Amino acid sequence: MRVMQSGHEEVTVEDIFSCTRCGYCCHGETTVSLDDRDQERMVRKLGLDREEVAHRFWRISGSIVQMKVVDGHCIFYDPDQGCTVHEGRPWRCGQWPLHPSILADESNFSAISESCPGIRKELGYEEFCRRLRILLEREGNLIC
């Protein structure tokens, strides 16, 4: 459990979010795109040649690199294990669902909490944001 302190208050990720591994965020007909650092990280994690990684796992369209979709989900998603490339996943995957845009607009909080059952929406928007702000200040944009 990661604990971060603000003044005398301790805030943990689990105070606002606990992944149920429902898999929703890894499903769809497209995936997030991978920037250069994402690609390098994934290649390193998989321990394969870049060409092999590209051939087996990436969908490349012009300068856009995404992960392949198989059976309606990211090729790295396994129903039993979840993300099978966890440490090599793109940064946008690591940002979900505690996205900073939640702080900007309650409608973003509503939309994300509707999609992600791990969000503790029962806290209410103001309290959720207060805790998220503390976590983001300590950890940057990649909390999960």
Q: Is 76 in the site for ligand SF4 (CB under 6 A)?
A: yes
CB of 32 to ligand SF4, least distance (A): 7
What residues from 112 to 141 belong to the interface with ligand SF4 (CB under 6 A)? 116-118
Of the ranges 6-14, 91-99, 121-129, 135-143, which one interacts with ligand SF4 (CB under 6 A)? 91-99
Of positions 4, 53, 85, 143, contacts ligand SF4 by CB under 6 A = 85
Compose the 11-40 pattern: x for residues touching ligand SF4 by CB under 6 A, - for all others.
--------xxxxxxxx----x---------
Provide DSSP, 35-89.
Answer: -HHHHHHHHHHHTS-HHHHHHHHEEEETTEEEE-EETTEETTEETTTEETTGGGS
CB of 8 to ligand SF4, least distance (A): 30
Assess contact for 86 and 40: CB atoms under 8 A: no
Of positions 74, 98, 132, 135, contacts ligand SF4 by CB under 6 A = 74
Residue recorded with tokens 């966890």: 86
CB of 12 to ligand SF4, least distance (A): 16
Alpha carbon distance 90, 78 (integer Å) = 17
Q: Identify which of 37, 72, 40 has the alpha carbon closest to the alpha carbon of residue 53.
A: 40
